Amino acid sequence: MIETIAAVSLPVDEKLEIRKNRILPEAGTAQEKRKRISIVTGIHGDELEGQYVCFELQRRLAEEKEKLAGIVDIYPAMNPLGIDSISRGIPAFDLDLNRLFPGNIDGNMTEYLAAEIIEDVKGSDCVIDLHASNIYLTEIPQIRINERHQEQLVPMAEKLNMDLIWVHGASTVLESTFAYSLNSVGTPVLVVEMGVGMRITREYGDQMTDGIMYLMKAMGIWEGEVKPVKKPVISRNPADVCYLNAGVGGLFIPLVKHGARLKKNERIGRIVDPLRGKVLDEVLAPTEGMLFTLRDYPIVDEGSLMGRMLKKEVCGYA
């Protein structure tokens, strides 16, 4: 059932509409007593990994609709103008929608949209906020959790088939995000980061969908069969993560695959000068561990982020 949750008029007789698809069981308990999960994506218009998950989840549910026992709300495009124009923020306003929450129902257009989004999603038993990385970096499937909400969220996140759960420190900039705003009023939101901007990584999308189905089963929303899920690595200490920043500007050529397990000082890549044909710098692993972020866009300046590594003792592999 397609519903419009917010709409505003635009110039030239056009209208901006944010829509969701509510999927209900064929029969059973009263709607107000059913568990509800919400799948949200497209807050940033250049992050498309969640689009595939929305499609694939609905495809699987349609195949065995009789096994659905709860409510599934799917919001594929919270920033439809951004998606249409391949823009991270809201075009023309130069605003990041994920810095406008909880919004203001009596505010300007963007504040109104943010407030309507919060009002519609609020009350879900679980919300999956799907993001991709930007066009510069590729991320393994992971969930990022504010330390203030970890007690409630980590047990749910462990069921989502992710490679990593990254519990991070509180930050004032996060207080205006979709996830923080809802978590603060008691609606649990899990923020997923995976893949790369402006692309779809089907392998990651299938992994995510398997995890959503598993979580739905655990919540009593799904009564069909589900696949077993991965046991994620959980990082709670900022010292667990090493950042790789470029020492010089140039062209970054990776020599390992994303997600690789590396030894200390193993070569990750090199920064080269295409004009002179020279190697400017060798990028070495600062520790033994897993490369969970890797630069995808090859041009770097001094200080550019090229990757992140999780230390071996946290990963727990032999």
pLDDT at 28: 65
CB atoms near residue 63 (< 10 Å): 9
Q: HSE-up of 58 (CA within 13 Å, CB side)?
A: 17
Give per-10-residue mean pLDDT for the chain (318 aa).
Answer: 95 91 83 90 97 98 97 98 93 90 95 97 98 96 95 98 93 85 97 97 98 98 97 95 97 96 97 98 97 97 97 81
| pLDDT reported for residue 92 | 80
Angle at 191 between CA 189 and CA 197, to 5 degrees: 145
CA 221 to chain centre: 22
pLDDT of residue 26: 87
Predicted pLDDT at 174: 84
Cβ(200)–Cβ(208) under 8 Å? no
Looking at residue 11, its pLDDT comes to 85
pLDDT of residue 317: 63
C-alpha–C-alpha distance, residues 52 and 105, integer Å: 31
pLDDT at 93: 82
Q: Interior CA angle at 254 toward 248 and 259, to 5°?
A: 120
- The confidence score (pLDDT) of residue 94 equals 83
The confidence score (pLDDT) of residue 318 equals 54
> What distance in Å separates the CA atoms of residue 142 and residue 232, rounded to the nearest whole number?
9
